[in-house]
């Protein structure tokens, strides 16, 4: 029978344990993939505590060694798997990475991260001034990284698997939409206003198609079929400070669609093309060009809307309009179609949404007058 190994203090070493020449201790084990791994400590008792952790992870089929990586290391591995991401998404990834690098939470080993740790971290960020929307996006991305760790047998449970609303109230500003009456008054004002009239046809098209501003900016002559009165959407145009104009795919597969052209949209597009032919064009394919012959940009159009709203409210101080953005017209279009009782699946297609709940729960805004009329129409017919 072989003599049991001992350390320099005469203590019997267990299987896998050994003492190195510098007096520190190591423990050798095979991970779940059969790869030889080592853990170390200067104190034998502390090493044995680590051994218990290793064995616990092995019993659960987890990869203990990779579980020692930090949250930021896991996040960067996860983001590196993302391909063909949009420029705005890349900026968000970089912004969140910087946030994790500068926070003690980002340096925490993922095996030690509990749900409570994530909740405390998000609450701290909210208290520092981050909006609910930004926090929710951050939680989704970091949660995706932890989900990947679960799939790779590194951790057992995703600590981000909880709704943000369970710890933080959604204090995001609710999207303001105009009533039908307000929409008519606003359009009438824009049409007759010397400064705002240049935006009239753009607003008409947005309000009557539900297009995203990037889809409208990217609309080309070939996308508009006046004969069959159809508008094809299969891409969008974005502008980035460093890259300039960039053609991108539709936001999702569902974003590829054909939108029927109403009479108002038909007339507005015809007017826009007539104006377009009267300017020197740097970009010849696009429908919506500014006076310099370049495709309209979201930021420029947003600034124009702010000026139009300011001019409107100066005249209508007793009934001012809320903030209006290019995306507001998409919400108004969807709400108008819901209030007009358009079939929900058809509306989902026109909006280009992959999930009908987005169409009905995010973009549909119902006011009391509409509810009252609908309810009384039903009850009066019944009686």
Does residue 233 register a pLDDT over 90? Answer: yes
Contact 139, 160 (CB under 8 A): yes
Q: Give CA separation, 168 vs 105, 130, 142, 174, in Å.
A: 19, 12, 17, 16
| Catalytic residue chosen out of the listed positions 14, 108, 316, 327 | 327
pLDDT at 64: 55
**Mean pLDDT score, 329-344:** 92
Show Cβ contacts of residue 357 under 8 Å, excluding neighbours closer than 6 positions: none
Least confident piece of the model among 31-35, 106-110, 133-137, 272-276: 31-35
pLDDT at 158: 94
| Catalytic residue chosen out of the listed positions 126, 309, 330, 365 | 330
How far apart CA 283 and CA 218 sit, in angstroms, is 11
User: Residue 123: which of 138, 107, 110, 109 has the closest Cα?
Assistant: 138
Contact 199, 346 (CB under 8 A): no
**Mean pLDDT score, 47-76:** 79
Q: What is the dihedral of CA 337, 343, 349, 350, to 10 degrees?
A: -20
pLDDT in tens, 251-289: 888 999 999 999 999 999 999 999 887 777 777 789 999
How far apart CA 128 and CA 41 sit, in angstroms, is 38
**Mean pLDDT score, 369-382:** 70
| Catalytic residue chosen out of the listed positions 251, 281, 294, 316 | 251
365 is catalytic: no
pLDDT at 349: 95
121 against 152, higher pLDDT: 121
327 is catalytic: yes
Q: How many CB atoms lie within 10 A of CB 135?
A: 19
List the structure tokens of 296.
């309209």
Is 176 in a helix, a strand, or coil? Answer: coil
pLDDT at 215: 95
pLDDT at 229: 96
| Catalytic residue chosen out of the listed positions 78, 331, 363, 365 | 363
How confident is the prediction for the chain on average, in pLDDT? 88
Q: Give CA separation, 213 vs 188, 205, 234, 299, in Å.
A: 22, 10, 13, 10
Q: How many CB atoms lie within 10 A of CB 118?
A: 22
| Catalytic residue chosen out of the listed positions 139, 331, 353, 365 | 353
Q: How many CB atoms lie within 10 A of CB 270?
A: 13
pLDDT at 63: 61
Q: pLDDT class for 32, splitting at 50, 70, 90?
A: low
Q: pLDDT class for 336, splitting at 50, 70, 90?
A: very high
pLDDT in tens, 121-145: 999 999 888 888 889 999 999 999 9
How far apart CA 28 and CA 16 sit, in angstroms, is 5
212 is catalytic: yes
Query: What percent of the chain has a predicted confidence (pLDDT) above 70?
Result: 94
Q: What is the pTM of this model?
A: 0.65
List the structure tokens of 371.
């509810």
φ, ψ of residue 293 to 5 degrees: the values are 80, 20
| Catalytic residue chosen out of the listed positions 126, 139, 212, 365 | 212
DSSP 8-state code for residue 19 = E
Q: pLDDT class for 242, splitting at 50, 70, 90?
A: confident
φ, ψ of residue 135 to 5 degrees: the values are -65, -40
Q: pLDDT class for 88, splitting at 50, 70, 90?
A: confident
Q: pLDDT class for 31, splitting at 50, 70, 90?
A: confident
């Amino acid at each position: 029978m072989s003599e049991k190994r001992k350390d320099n203090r005469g203590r019997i070493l267990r299987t896998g344990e050994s003492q190195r020449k510098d007096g520190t201790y190591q423990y050798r084990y095979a991970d779940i993939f059969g790869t030889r791994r080592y853990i170390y400590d200067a104190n034998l008792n502390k090493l044995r505590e680590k051994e218990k952790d290793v064995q616990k992870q092995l019993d659960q089929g987890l990869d203990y060694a990779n579980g020692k990586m930090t949250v930021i290391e896991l996040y960067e591995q996860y983001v590196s798997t993302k391909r063909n991401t949009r420029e705005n998404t890349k900026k968000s990834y970089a912004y969140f990475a910087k946030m994790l690098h500068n926070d003690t939470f980002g340096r925490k080993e993922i095996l030690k991260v509990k749900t409570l740790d994530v909740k405390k971290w998000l609450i701290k960020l909210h208290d520092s001034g981050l909006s609910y929307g930004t926090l929710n996006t951050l939680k989704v991305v970091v949660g995706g990284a932890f989900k990947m760790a679960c799939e790779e047998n590194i951790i057992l449970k995703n600590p981000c698997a909880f709704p943000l609303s369970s710890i933080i109230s959604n204090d995001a500003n609710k999207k303001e939409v105009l009533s039908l009456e307000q929409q008519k008054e606003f359009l009438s004002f824009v049409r007759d206003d010397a400064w705002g009239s240049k935006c009239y046809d753009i607003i008409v098209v947005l309000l009557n198609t539900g297009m995203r501003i990037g889809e409208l900016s990217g609309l080309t002559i070939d996308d508009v079929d006046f004969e069959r009165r159809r508008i094809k959407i299969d891409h969008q145009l974005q502008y980035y400070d460093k890259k300039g104009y960039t053609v991108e795919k539709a936001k999702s597969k569902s974003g590829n669609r054909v939108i029927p052209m109403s009479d108002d949209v038909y007339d507005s597009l015809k007017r826009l093309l007539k104006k377009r032919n009267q300017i020197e064009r740097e970009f010849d394919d696009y429908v919506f060009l500014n006076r310099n012959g370049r495709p309209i940009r979201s930021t420029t159009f947003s600034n124009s809307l702010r000026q139009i709203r300011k001019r409107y409210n100066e005249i209508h101080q007793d009934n001012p309009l809320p903030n209006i953005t290019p995306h507001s017209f998409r919400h108004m279009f969807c709400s108008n179609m819901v209030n007009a009782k358009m079939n929900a699946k058809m509306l989902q297609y026109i909006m280009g949404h992959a999930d009908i709940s987005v169409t009905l729960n995010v973009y549909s805004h119902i006011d009391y007058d509409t509810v009252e009329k609908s309810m009384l129409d039903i009850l009066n017919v019944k009686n």
